[in-house]
Chains A and B, each alone.
Chain A
Amino acid sequence: MPINYYIFLALALFSIGIVGVLTRRNAIIIFMCIELMLNAVNLLLVAFSKMHYLKNAAADAMTTAGTDGQLFVFFIMVVAAAEVSVGLAIIVMMYRNIHSVDINFLNRLKH
């Protein structure tokens, strides 16, 4: 499969995530769009990893080139899980204080 198909698919998903962040005002949906962008990057990393593997496999059939890319994806997932737990705790605290998750009420950094 040509690599530029994967590049364009990941770009489309990333741009959809950016449009979501810019147009929605519900903090939870903005958070979900950030997850979407992370997943677009993950998909591109895996595709590049397999591209790198194919390039090296011609010379050496036992090569493990490209493993690093897939491990980066694993670490991105780890960091995303930690980020989600803290971020949702912040959103819950914000809802408890101002009874809304509308980000327009949050533009003052005080209450």
Chain B
Amino acid sequence: MNITQILFWFLSVVAIFSALMVITSKNPVYSVLWLIATFFAISGHYILLNAQFLAIVNIIVYAGAIMVLFLFVIMLMNLNKETEPQKNRWLKMAGAVAGGCLLLVLVAALKDTDIKQQQALVNEGNIGLIKNLGKELFTKYVVPFEISSILFLSAMVGAVVIGKKE
């Protein structure tokens, strides 16, 4: 078992454990912090796959911007106490069973596919570097890139319009 495999299993365990803590924490602030831990673990996976640009973007955009927005909203609403009302225990159990059944069905469907002889290249390969991605982004994908800037503009206008007082 070499260092790459050890890192893979470690990051997987961290990701799944912190994802479970996201949905079981009572306090929303703790949920946000565990979600940040999940994003860091997923960024570790990206680094392991040598997708360095996406690893950095994941940390900057998700852990840096989006999660700060979540924390800001939670603290703005003063939700940082355990305000979640007691709910029907059976409903909670039914949700867990439904999710577990989905996982079971998907794993059973995918465990014997012939894709499983394939390997994902770890630690090498230069398609994830910013040189290659930037060249592709500004030649082949330049129209979607510009359209996404319009999407950002409209989202910004929409957020301001929705969020302002009557």
Q: Measuring CB to CB, which residues of chain A are less than 8 angstroms from any residue of chain B?
A: 1-9, 11-13, 15-20, 22-26, 28-29, 31-33, 35-36, 39, 42-43, 46-51, 53-55, 57, 64-68, 70-71, 73-75, 77-86, 88-93, 95-96, 101-102
A39/B49 in contact, CB under 8 A: no
Task: Give Cα A15–Cα B163 distance, bound, in whole angstroms.
Answer: 32
Residue among B8, B38, B61, B99 making CB contact with A77, cutoff 8 Å: B61
Contact residues in B for A55 (Cβ distance below 8 Å): 118
What is the predominant secondary structure among interface residues of chain B facing chain A?
helix
What is the predominant secondary structure among interface residues of chain A facing chain B?
helix
Residue among B20, B32, B49, B92 making CB contact with A46, cutoff 8 Å: B49
Q: Measuring CB to CB, which residues of chain B are less than 8 angstroms from any residue of chain A?
A: 4-5, 8, 12, 15-16, 19-20, 22-23, 28, 31-32, 35, 38-39, 42, 45-46, 48-51, 53-54, 57-58, 61-62, 65-66, 69-70, 73-74, 76-77, 79, 83-85, 87, 91-92, 94-96, 98-100, 102-103, 106-107, 110-111, 113, 115-116, 118-122, 125, 127-128, 132-133, 136-137, 141, 144, 148, 151-152, 154-156, 158-160, 162-163, 165
